[in-house]
Structure 1
Amino acid sequence: MAATAENRLRGIFTPNIVPLTSDAEINEPELRRYVDWLIDHGVHGLYPNGSTGEFTRFTVEERRRIIEIMADQTRGRVPILAGAAEANARETIKACEYYHTLGCRAVAIVSPFYYKLSPAGVYAYFKEIADNSPIDITLYNIPMFASPIDVPTVQRLAEECPRVIAIKDSSGDLPHMMRMIAAVRKLRPDFGFMTGWDAALMPMLLIGCDGGTNATSGVAPEITKKLYELTMAGKIDEARDLQYRLLPLFDTMLYSAEFPDGFRAALKLRGIEPGPSRQPKSAVQVDQLRQLSDQLQCLLAAEGFTKEPAAGCKVPPTVDADHVARIVQNVVGELRKRGIA
């Protein structure tokens, strides 16, 4: 197949949560229902076994079973980008081989974690996998958890490895993404760039990204899909408004609980039963999640996805634009007096 822009991964690929039973086993019926729900709500692809899917908290056999269930339920309706990261290159190659037999579009592989490697080590790791994989590979850059993938390494892998077709970057670093696009796109027009940082989805799309692997799409796929479509259609004002509306929901789910518990709590409010996380919780954490649920319900109710909690929602204080303008003018005036502005 010729290397063209039409061949790229594009759109919103949902990094889905894995519903669990009360004894923390994979809840297959609910996972199947969740897959249908996501597809019915318009996501462009699915991304199981990612960070949102808590891949490190499942066994190798369970990770494979998750992909089996989702591939069977999807039945080719949307492409699957399967998380294939294992603890070493040999086991990751085995995962690539197996997910290829299930008909996945590609795999996503996080750079080596636990041991922080140099760029040379990161390159050697992905080169070994790419040379032995029967399925296309998406690099996964998440420097807060794993060895970072720098621009020269992405460029070198794109040049030398036809199987490496994209990168999913969850750093949220806009200049880093721009440098990668500038370095690679002229060499590989088929190479895709996906952002994993929901708070910057619109600006990432504007600088040339092809889509996102956004955890919020697993809870509110309507918002992320519409944000993608508005931005790609050049409806900038509408897209910007939606990006700002997405921000408090994303921030609350991400920062108000240990990841991805905030997303699990919000998903329950959408009618999907996520079950308990496999990560044990203290009594304090359980109580905090209970309080967070009401906060999330208010945010989801504001978008029309749920009803308000029984106690209602606090009305956010209104912003007096004239008052803000006066404050800004006073600050600038004071800075000018001091010779700073």
Structure 2
Amino acid sequence: MFKPEGVYVAMLTPFDENGEIDELSLRRTAEFAIQQGVDGLFPNSTVGEFVRLSFDEKVRIVEIVVDQAKGRVPVTPGAADTYARGSIELSKEAKRLGCEAVVITTPWYLPVSQEMIERHYEAIAEAVDIPIILYNIPMFTAPISYDVVGRLSRLENIVGMKDSSGSMSDNVNFMDKVRLLGTLDKFNFLVGREETFFPALMAGAKGSMTACAGIIPEVIVGIYRAYKEKDYNKANQLQYSFLKLLRAMNTVPFPIAFKVAMEARGFSMGIQRAVLSDAEKNNLKLVRSSIDEIMEELFGNNYKVDLEKLVSTEEFKQYVINK
């Protein structure tokens, strides 16, 4: 059965000037990541603002990304919802569209017990015929306990976990629980926080699912390749090289500055669905300037991406005509 491994992109969702999904920009971000050597794409992610998307928009995003990927890398979209039926419906759509797996967080907003979380995942796993990747992101949803992850790892179609706790302690304890149950061979751990990518790989993680993999894939893919080649000094240097950028992106409400960073590379992200105050808009201008400077430090003067070489305007016109 499919298992996630390597560098996956938690994809941003670009909007146009009317606040609708920008298909051309979405195709270009997917193509850019693929050409830079990522191992998979994760649309409808947290950084992709899935909570601000309708069901139909989520399905359309998956359609676009799967079509652009054309089987070159796995597509594992988010299928999270506040109740099991919603996740089941999204998972079935992902299966219909040819996705390799789905990524599902715990429910949010209303309080849930660990027993409710476990049953939530069991109900989804029983109802769908597609591999499931657990998603632990305690900054936004209820955390999953080590024991629940261990028990869920025994289900046939639960094949891995994205841990966005940012805690190496949590990461190794999750892996240890699965190891003790003897299911580590069919269950892969991926980190969701870029800051811990290299140390997590050294501890036994099999990859990452992060936004920076789509913004600066050269660096994140470089960490993974250096690790695989046992060039640990290079991997460590790359790990530290982008932390200044990450700190800059986290100085305004998430994920606004992540989109600013994509714009710095030349991609169109469009208008924000979140409404910003005047003070936040002014602060964003300062953050934008800082991110441009950091990009130049990372890549020199050539940090802008030639979008026409990814998906040209003429190619996109043909997509629209054929559709």
Does the pair score TM above 0.5?
A: yes
1:236 paired residue among 232, 247, 260: 232
Shift of residue 195, structure 1, vs aligned partner: 0.3
Distance across 2 between alignment mates of 1:171 and 1:119: 17
Distance across 2 between alignment mates of 1:44 and 1:305: 26
Structure-1 residue corresponding to 2:306 = none
Contact 2:10/2:45, CA 8 A, preserved across alignment: yes
Shift of residue 237, structure 1, vs aligned partner: 1.3
Structure-1 residue corresponding to 2:242 = 246
2:258 paired residue among 245, 260, 263: 263
Specify the code of the residue in structure 1 equivalent to 2:241: R
Specify the code of the residue in structure 2 equivalent to 1:167: M
Distance across 2 between alignment mates of 1:13 and 1:49: 13
Secondary structure, aligned partner of 2:268:
coil
After the TM superposition, which residues 61-210 of structure 1 pair with which residues of structure 2 at under 5 Å, given as runs?
A: 61-159=56-154, 161-185=155-179, 186-210=182-206
Specify the code of the residue in structure 2 equivalent to 1:103: G
| Structure with larger Rg | 1
Specify the code of the residue in structure 1 equivalent to 2:83: N
Contact 1:110/1:142, CA 8 A, preserved across alignment: yes
After the TM superposition, which residues 19-38 of structure 1 pair with which residues of structure 2 at under 5 Å, given as runs?
A: 19-38=14-33
Structure-1 residue corresponding to 2:37 = 42
Specify the code of the residue in structure 2 equivalent to 1:192: N
Specify the code of the residue in structure 1 equivalent to 2:174: M
Q: TM-score, normalised by structure 2?
A: 0.90
Q: TM-score, normalised by structure 1?
A: 0.86
1:80-117 CA distance string (max 9 Å, x none): 11100122101110111110011111000000111221
Secondary structure, aligned partner of 1:182:
helix
Specify the code of the residue in structure 2 equivalent to 1:299: I
Shift of residue 175, structure 1, vs aligned partner: 1.4
Shift of residue 232, structure 1, vs aligned partner: 2.6
Shift of residue 122, structure 1, vs aligned partner: 0.7
Specify the code of the residue in structure 2 equivalent to 1:251: R
Specify the code of the residue in structure 2 equivalent to 1:190: K
Distance across 2 between alignment mates of 1:168 and 1:118: 20
1:147-196 CA distance string (max 9 Å, x none): 1111100111112x101000100001111111111221332402110100
After the TM superposition, which residues 204-223 of structure 1 pair with which residues of structure 2 at under 5 Å, given as runs?
A: 204-223=200-219
Distance across 1 between alignment mates of 2:37 and 2:273: 29
Secondary structure, aligned partner of 1:268:
helix
| Count, aligned residues | 301
Contact 1:111/1:147, CA 8 A, preserved across alignment: yes
Specify the code of the residue in structure 1 equivalent to 2:57: E
Contact 2:76/2:103, CA 8 A, preserved across alignment: yes
Specify the code of the residue in structure 1 equivalent to 2:213: S
Shift of residue 307, structure 1, vs aligned partner: 6.0
Which range moves more in the overlay, 228-237 or 148-157? 228-237
Secondary structure, aligned partner of 1:46:
strand
Higher relative contact order (CA 8 A, sep 6+): 2
User: Which 5+ residue runs of structure 2 have no aligned equivalent?
Assistant: 304-323
1:279-324 CA distance string (max 9 Å, x none): 011221111111111100111101115469xxxxxxxxxxxxxxxx
Structure 1 residues 148 and 64 mapped into 2: Cα distance closer, same or farther (>3 Å)? same
Contact 1:205/1:232, CA 8 A, preserved across alignment: no
Secondary structure, aligned partner of 1:291:
helix
Structure-1 residue corresponding to 2:315 = none
Specify the code of the residue in structure 1 equivalent to 2:262: L
1:32-73 CA distance string (max 9 Å, x none): 122111111111110001111000011111111111111111
Specify the code of the residue in structure 2 equivalent to 1:184: V
Distance across 1 between alignment mates of 2:166 and 2:184: 23
Distance across 2 between alignment mates of 1:269 and 1:115: 37
Q: CA RMSD in A?
A: 1.3
Contact 1:116/1:146, CA 8 A, preserved across alignment: no
Percentage of matched positions with identical amino acids: 33
User: Which 5+ residue runs of structure 1 have no aligned equivalent?
Assistant: 2-6, 309-341
Distance across 2 between alignment mates of 1:87 and 1:305: 44
Structure-2 residue corresponding to 1:10 = 5
Secondary structure, aligned partner of 2:186:
coil
Which range moves more in the overlay, 226-235 or 48-57? 226-235
Shift of residue 31, structure 1, vs aligned partner: 1.0
